Amino acid sequence: MGNATKYISHQPDSQGYVNYSEHEHALWQQLYQRQIANLPGKACEAYLQGIDALNMSVDKIPQLPDLDKVLTEATGWKTAAVPALISFGKFFELLANKQFPVATFIRTKEEFDYLQEPDVFHEVFGHCPLLTNPAFANFSHMYGQLGLAASKEDRVFLARLYWFTVEFGLMQAKDGPLNIYGGGILSSPGETLYALSDAPERKPFDLLDVLRTPYRIDIMQPIYYVIEHIDYLNEIAQMDIMTHVQKARALGLFAPMFQPKVKAS
């Protein structure tokens, strides 16, 4: 979420389809081919199953109505074409109605490796495959409902829950390999390799700790939280999350594990 963007989303036609340019399709192809090669042995099985189920085109940006046919049948979800940036309120409203927001623009070549606002590659490649998974879909629905009813102050803490699960979550079964389920990692070649390296700290998921952990959107994450399996998201959905939010607000945030962002003069 934010207030300024240099990107403008395409307006879908009456059937929900977007007329992307050949240049935009070429960017998708480059992004897709570069990242899909990174994921075997790194992405969680539920994500890889979702990639297979969606059967996305390698050389053309997927059309949302085509994705919706698969998502609706699998979990009752569908996508929603949105402007480049939307408000927290709109974001929560869409999730509460089982609609996943997708900005219908693709990044420029200049921001190929990283951009701060989610584009169609991040949303479709990073997140949509897991929306075919019932536990992930249920968690996302619950999160939208909570956020829609929450105060502005509480939403700031809820944002950390989303960040350390849906965006930057890892999983590791006992004695099993470390895998990725967070879409922010799965759509980033650099973070895919970094998240599984020895560089960051990794801790078992603890709801109160997650709600108290600061983050920055423009750096590699210094810490990740790890769940044991994708179905654990159902267990999180059944926790008394808002009570934990109040505890987190009372206790305050942990000291940041990163330097503050330097504002441009």
Name the burial class of residue 21, with classes exposed (0-12), middle (13-18) and buried (19+) by CB atoms within 10 angstroms of its CB: exposed
Set 187, 188, 191, 244: catalytic member: 187
Binding residue per annotation — 127? Answer: yes
* 25 belongs to the catalytic site: no
Three-state SS for 225?
Answer: strand
Residue pair 98/74 in contact by the 8 Å Cβ criterion: no
Question: What are the tokens at 95?
Answer: 């999730």
Name the burial class of residue 216, with classes exposed (0-12), middle (13-18) and buried (19+) by CB atoms within 10 angstroms of its CB: middle
Set 9, 24, 93, 122: catalytic member: 122
Set 24, 117, 167, 191: catalytic member: 167
Set 9, 10, 24, 127: catalytic member: 127
Binding residue per annotation — 10? Answer: no
* 244 belongs to the catalytic site: no
* 23 belongs to the catalytic site: no
Question: What are the tokens at 207?
Answer: 């709801």
* 122 belongs to the catalytic site: yes
Binding residue per annotation — 122? Answer: yes
How far, CA to CA in Å, does 34 sit from each of 28, 111, 121, 125?
10, 15, 12, 12
Instruction: List residues with catalytic annotation.
Output: 122, 127, 167, 187
Binding-site residue positions: 122, 127, 167
Binding-site residue positions for Fe cation: 122, 127, 167
